[in-house]
Amino acid sequence: MKQSPSSKRGRSFRSAESLIRLAEGLVTSGSRAEDVYWNKKLEAEIKKVILEKDEISLNVALDKLSEKESRAHEELADAIEGCVEFERIIVGEKTFDSLLITAPILAWSTMGLANFNVSPEQLEEISSLLKKHVFNQNAQISLVNYLYSPDQLPESFIETRQLKKAITHSLLKEHHLLLDEGEIKETATFLADQRHLLGVVAVAKGEHIFRWQDNFAQPEEIEASWKKVSQEILSKIMPQCARDAVLPRAYYVACRDADRQLRKFSINASVSYLSSSSSVTGESLLVVIGGCYDRQLEEYRISFCDKRTFEVYHGIVWPLLGPEDEFSELNEIIEQYLKSCGVSEVKFLTQRLPLEYCEDCGSPLYPNIEGEMVHTEQPESDDFQHQHIH
């Protein structure tokens, strides 16, 4: 018999309470033996919820633990992400560890970032480079033939898991996942943004997945090597773009790495774009920074203004990530990076600003020197093409 919506809600509530109880049990653990017990029980419950495609239970449990400001929230979030990303698969009589990964790319272009497809030949070349420089050289890798923008990535845990299973299915057939462009939703065009090359990596059970696990090299060394060797192939896939490759890692942590690195990358893109597309230089810029609040500080909005007229030419959003709040030393970090990009004058606003957006185009509004939230206005230049910088 088909279940009623009310019975499904009741089941979701029970599942959420079970997840909360298990996560809180893990937090109170005082020994390795307890850790193993609680982790096993929690993982089994999460897998059951994912199998039932019960996204509500996952989010309710996370929300309730977040309200409690409990460390159990972090434990539960880590466990859910782990169950989405990681899976042991059996092929014949062999067992493999498989992991959803992304190789993020930060990019900007005066033309705005378009959609980027990757040919089967390019996927093979990238796969070979990844095995040589980032992953276990004996790993099996299946990649997706498209570079996802952040708003094209799966929106939920369940959707992410489904995509992971689709890529794994291609891996088992020993080929890459080839999507038609119509299968991916449209994305807004930004001057500077992230792109993600998604894939699944599989190794024999118990083997290392990442190169730094095996030879004790630092991830920073691996990232430097990846930036160097990926330049040529990325220039073919993303022509006319300035790029910076981010270390390929497990899906969720790599997405967070890209979010963090994009903030500084966008500042550099803004200064470079203004100086290359108009007569604006770092010396002629005044940068105004204001904190935008909902119930608490959500993000800084950074305005690039003409030092003489105070017109706001450009703006970027610097979101708060992870544990950051209004007491973090972000002001100093932002100012230091602006000055390293050649900006000589920076002004911080002390008032609390609203999270306002343009009613016509939906773009964020940015503070002028008086703290008024305004739309950006392009400089007077024939060569200047107005683009919003993400």
Chain CA centroid to CA 230, Å: 20
Residue type, 140: Q
In angstroms, the CA 58 to CA 161 distance is 13
**Helix H or strand E encompassing 201:** strand 192-204
Q: What average pLDDT does the segment 314-323 reach?
A: 91
Residue 320 in this model has a pLDDT that exceeds 70: yes
Percent of the chain's residues with pLDDT above 70: 93
In angstroms, the CA 379 to CA 359 distance is 22
Residue 249 in this model has a pLDDT that exceeds 70: yes
Residue 279 has a pLDDT of: 67
Residue type, 22: L
In angstroms, the CA 374 to CA 192 distance is 21
Residue type, 286: L
pTM for this entry = 0.89
Q: Which two tokens stand for residue 189?
A: 């065009």
Instruction: Tell me which residue has tokens 């093409």.
Output: 385
pLDDT per residue as tens digits for the range 334-380: 999 999 988 989 999 999 999 999 888 888 999 999 999 999 887 66
Cα 179 to Cα 127, 154, 342, distances in angstroms: 17, 15, 42
Residue 11 has a pLDDT of: 60
Residue 379 has a pLDDT of: 65
pLDDT per residue as tens digits for the range 216-233: 789 999 999 999 999 999
Residue 356 has a pLDDT of: 92
pLDDT per residue as tens digits for the range 177-212: 999 877 888 887 777 899 999 999 999 999 999 999
Closest C-alpha to 350, from 329, 336, 367: 367
Specify the higher pLDDT residue, 119 or 313.
119
Instruction: Tell me which residue has tokens 């699944």.
Output: 200
Residue pair 264/333 in contact by the 8 Å Cβ criterion: no
In angstroms, the CA 89 to CA 72 distance is 29
Residue pair 201/209 in contact by the 8 Å Cβ criterion: yes
Closest C-alpha to 86, from 211, 213, 250, 206: 250
Closest C-alpha to 211, from 131, 135, 139, 140: 135
Mean pLDDT of the chain, nearest integer = 90
Q: Which two tokens stand for residue 303?
A: 């305005």
**What is the largest distance, in Å, between two alpha-carbon atoms of the chain?**
72
In angstroms, the CA 152 to CA 228 distance is 27
pLDDT per residue as tens digits for the range 156-178: 999 999 999 999 999 999 999 99
Q: Which two tokens stand for residue 237?
A: 């896939």
Q: What average pLDDT does the segment 253-263 reach?
A: 96
> What 3 state SS string does 272-333 have?
HHHHHHCCCCHHHEEEEEEEEECCCEEEEEEEEEECCCCCEEEEEEEECCCCCCCCCCHHHH
- Residues present in the chain in total: 390
Residue pair 163/142 in contact by the 8 Å Cβ criterion: no
Please return the burial class of 307, using the count of CB atoms within 10 Å of its CB with bins 0-12, 13-18 and 19+.
middle
**21 falls in which pLDDT band (50, 70, 90)?**
very high
